[in-house]
Amino acid sequence: MSTGITTGPMKSETEIGGVSPVDLHELPVVKTTPLADIAGVVARARAAQPAWEALGFEGRAALMKKACRLLLERREQLGALIRDEAGKQPAHAQLHEAIGPLDYVSGWIKVARPQLRPKRLPINPIAMPGKSASTELIPRGVIGIIAPWNYPLGVYFKPSLPALLTGNAVVLKPSEYCPRTGALFAQLLSEVLPKDVVQVVQGARDVGAALITSGIDALSFTGSPVGGRAVLKACAEQMIPCSVELGGKDPAIVLADCELERTVLGILNWGIHNSGQDCGSVERVYVVDEIADRFVEALGRAASRLKVPSKPGDVEGASIGPLSNPMQLGIVEAHIADAVAKGAKVVTGGKKTGIGCWHEATILDRCTQDMRVVAEETFGPVIAVVRVKDVEQAITLANDSRYGLNASIWTTDLERAEQLARRLQAGTIFINNHALTGAMPFAPWTGVKDTGYGVANSEHALHTFTRPRTIFVDRGHAPDPWWLPADPLLKDMAERLAKAQLGQLVAALGLPGVMRARKKKLLDLVR
C-alpha cells in the first residue's frame, strides 16, 4: 500500500534531505562524506586514540561524565531536534533519550572499572617456579558505529559511551534518516573530549560499507537481518570483530491469572512505546482463551484513547508520535492490510491519520502465525493478538519466530513463570514487565536467531571494544627443566608429572630431584 509520500532522504550523492514526520516540512540539508575521505577520518581518530587511552580509566571516566553532563544540560536542544527529525513527542524525546546519557555512563563506569583492572593468572608455583602472569583488557583502537534511526540520540549510548570509556576512538555513521541528531551528539562530546576522538561520517549504505573497509578495528551495527548479514560478511573479510543487533518480534504470553488491568497497560506501553519503533516492542500477544475476550476488549479500549492528530496542525495533544519516516509507515500499512485480508479483526485503529507519518494505535485480534504482522518485524504502533488454548500452545507459538530478543510472561504465579521463562527462546525473558533492561548498563542486551548474537550492555559487551593482553614474567635464573634436548631424564620427568596429576604421590616425590638434574645438564651445554 502506498503512502503517497516520497520515502528516501537522499537528495543526491552529496546531500541528505528529508522531511519531518510530524508535518512533512523540509529538514535542513546535510552534506554526505565523500567515500574517498572516509579513510582519512578514521586515520584522524586513530592518531587521537593513544593520548586518549593514556589518560587511564579514571581520567577518561571523569571526562566522559563531564561530556554527558553537557549532553544533559543541552537536553532541550537535543529533544527539539529529535522531535523535528524523528517525530517523537517532546515528553518521550526527553524521558527516553535526552535525559539518559549521564545516568548511563555512570552505570557503565561501575561495570567497566573492575573489568579493566589487570587480573593475575593462577600459575602453579611448583611446576613453574619463579613465573607469574596477568591479563588485562585494552582498547581495540578505532570503533565504527553504524546506527539506526528509531532512537536518534539514545541509539548511540550503548556502543559509543562504553567504547570511549574503554579507551577507543569512535567513528559514528548515523542513519541517513536522522543524521542531524547524530552530528549534534558528536559535536557536544567533542566540546569536552580531546580533539578527533569522536568522528562522524554521513551518508547512506555506501558510506557504511566504506567505513568497514577504512581501517577500523571493530564495528557495532544495529539494523535489519539483511543488512546485518552483509555487514558480518564484510567484517569477516577485514578480520575485525562485529557486534550486531538485528531487530526483534517480541512475544508476550498472557495467562488467565494475570493482573488484568496492569497487564493491559504494560503490554500497551511496550507495544506502542515509541510508536512501536523499538526492537524490544511487544509485537505479538498470546493470550489464553479463558480471558481473551476481556483482555482484547480492555486493550482495545485503552489503545483507542491514545490520541493522534486527525487534521494538520493538531499535533500538540497527541499521546504518541508519528512513525519516524514514510518508509516505515508504508510497512505498517502493508502489514495491517495483509492481516485483515487473512481474517484478523481490527479492534481499534488501523489507519494513517492527519498529515505526516501519523498512524493510529492499532490492536488486531484473531491473528495467526502466517500473517506478516505476526511473522515479520512490523516496527509500528500495532499489537497483534493471537488466541491460544493454553500456555503450552503459547510457548510453542512464541518460539515459532525468526527473532529472539525479548519475551514476557504475565501472571501472578511467579514460581511457575520462572520455570516457563526458561523454555522461551530469547535473550531476556521478563515476568510482568517487558524490555526494561535495555537502558541498564549492567544487564546484557542480546538475542538469538535473526536477532543476532551481538551483546550490548554489561561486561559481556566488552569483547567488541577491547581485547585481552597477557603479560608473562619469568623471575627464574636457571633454565626451565623441559627445554631441549630430549633425553631419558626428560622422559622420566614427564612420567612423574603425569603420575602426580593422577595422585600417585610416591612417584611425584622424586620430581624435584629429576628437575634439578635436568637443569644442571642444560647448563653443561653452555659451560
Just list the catalytic residues: 245, 279
Nearest to 145 by CA among 168, 116, 113: 168
Taking the C-alpha atoms of residue 260 and residue 269, their distance in angstroms, rounded to an integer, is: 14
Instruction: Return all residues near 217 (Cβ < 8 A) that are at least 6 apart.
Output: 140, 141, 142, 143, 168, 240
Adjacent-strand bridge partners of 170: 143, 198
What is the DSSP pairing of strand 198-200 with strand 169-173? parallel
Instruction: Return all residues near 55 (Cβ < 8 A) that are at least 6 apart.
Output: 63
Per-position DSSP letters for 389-423, written without gaps between them: SSHHHHHHHHHSSSEESEEEEE-S-HHHHHHHHTT
What distances in angstroms separate CA 355 from CA 5, 22, 311, 381, one per listed residue? 11, 7, 7, 17
Query: Chain centroid to CA 460: how far?
Result: 12
Taking the C-alpha atoms of residue 17 and residue 436, their distance in angstroms, rounded to an integer, is: 34
Adjacent-strand bridge partners of 211: none
What distances in angstroms separate CA 23 from CA 8, 20, 199, 305, one per listed residue? 16, 6, 31, 22
Q: Phi and psi of 30, rounded to 5°?
A: -115, 135
- Residues 214, 220, 223, CA angle at the centre, nearest 5°? 110
What distances in angstroms separate CA 35 from CA 171, 180, 205, 218, 509, one per listed residue? 14, 19, 11, 19, 69
Burial of 475 (0-12, 13-18, 19+ CB in 10 A): exposed
- What residue has cell string 485503552? 302
Which residue type occupies 170?
Answer: V
Q: Phi and psi of 321, rounded to 5°?
A: -90, 175
What is the DSSP pairing of strand 345-348 with strand 382-388? unpaired
- What residue has cell string 488467565? 256
- 3-state SS class at 224: coil
Query: Would you state the cell numbers that stand for residue 77, as one nine-digit string?
Result: 536542544
Adjacent-strand bridge partners of 242: 219
Burial of 25 (0-12, 13-18, 19+ CB in 10 A): exposed
- Give yes or no for a contact between 172 and 153, defined as CB atoms under 8 angstroms apart: no
Query: Would you state the cell numbers that stand for residue 169, as one nine-digit string?
Result: 576512538
